[in-house]
Structure 1
Amino acid sequence: MAKAKLNHEVKTFIVQALACFDAPSVVTAAVKKEFGIEVSRQLVETHDPTKAAGSDTAARWRTLFEETRKAFLEDTSKIAISHRAVRLRALQRMAEKAEGMGNMALAAQLHEQAAKECGDAYSNRHKLEHTGKDGKDLPAPAPVTVFQLPDNGR
């Protein structure tokens, strides 16, 4: 089967999406939505140099893939859900919808999840340390000496 002729912009889009760990099926749908072009999952896979299908990817696309992946892994700040405030807002919307639907069990779970996002501020759980600094063993407790008070005839 011959490769479909894709322009530079579409190839760049595909390579960068794959570098950001999007599955070929997700990239296929994104290409259709963004460019109005139908591409097969197999064609998308030929642009991923980490896969056998993309083993003969041109050097410039391989370089773009590697640079995009490196930047993606180093900077998660561009991913909305990586921010606690975004997650809390989403949990808020879900909890409100669950309450509106009368699903109190789900609403309670969402409230608990929100509390965990805030550092267990809502729960009565206690965290116990089983290791010391840098994962080292905790120091042994100091011995306790018990003194006997004189009886003085009492």
Structure 2
Amino acid sequence: MATLKEPVKIFIVQALACRDTPQEVAELVKQEYGVKIERSQVALYDPTKAAGKNLSKKFIELFNETRKKFDEGLIDIPIANKHYRMRKYDKLLEKNAKNTVMSLSILKQAAEDIGGKYTNRQEITGKDGQPLMSISDAELDKRIKEAEAKARQ
């Protein structure tokens, strides 16, 4: 196993806290720092896994703080989170930077996703954003009583 300097260890802990896989982190460490490490060594810096049970308190606190910030307002299923998807699009874009067609496709997908194209949210309003129907409380009470009377018959 390679001996890692403090900045590399911090990088690994934060990347794992941001839900990157050990393989992804190992590749990132090689790109960023020129240090080749194995997935098993990366796993030692994840306090949520058995391999990381002996991680120092300092790194556990860093991991938890980073994870909290990353997950703030997010749900437990990463792919359902827009922030997570945008990060994945960004990684794909970097991998396919020389492939213009693929890059444009990724950019289009990200734009559609961020623009809300893939939601089923609907907003129904009347003319100029006004309510579809305006009804007074007295009129509403009257209609409810009529409906109840009709239901009794």
TM-score (norm 2): 0.53
Q: How has the CA–CA distance of structure 1 residues 36 and 50 changed in structure 2, closer, same or farther, with 3 Å as cutoff? A: same
The alignment status of 1:94 with 2:105, answered yes or no, reads yes
Give the AA of the match of 2:147.
A
Q: Could you tell me which residue of structure 2 aligns to residue 71 of structure 1?
A: 69
Aligned mate of 2:17, from 8, 19, 30: 19
- Distance (Å, rounded) in 2 between the aligned partners of 1:62 and 1:40: 21
Runs of 5+ consecutive residues of structure 1 not aligned to the other structure: 83-92, 98-109, 122-138, 147-154
What SS does the corresponding residue of 2:11 show, helix, strand or coil? helix
What SS does the corresponding residue of 2:19 show, helix, strand or coil? coil
- The structure in which a higher percent of residues are helix is 2
Shift of residue 45, structure 1, vs aligned partner:
0.2
Percent of pairs identical after alignment? Answer: 38
Aligned mate of 2:53, from 52, 55, 58: 55
Following superposition of structure 1 onto structure 2, how do residues 119-134 of structure 1 map, counting pairs within 5 Å? Answer: 119=121
- Distance (Å, rounded) in 2 between the aligned partners of 1:45 and 1:115: 37
TM-score (norm 1): 0.53
Q: Could you tell me which residue of structure 1 aligns to residue 100 of structure 2?
A: none
Q: How has the CA–CA distance of structure 1 residues 96 and 50 changed in structure 2, closer, same or farther, with 3 Å as cutoff? A: closer
Runs of 5+ consecutive residues of structure 2 not aligned to the other structure: 75-80, 87-103, 124-143
Shift of residue 46, structure 1, vs aligned partner:
0.4
How many residues end up aligned between the 2 structures?
101
Q: How has the CA–CA distance of structure 1 residues 120 and 49 changed in structure 2, closer, same or farther, with 3 Å as cutoff? A: same
Shift of residue 143, structure 1, vs aligned partner:
2.8
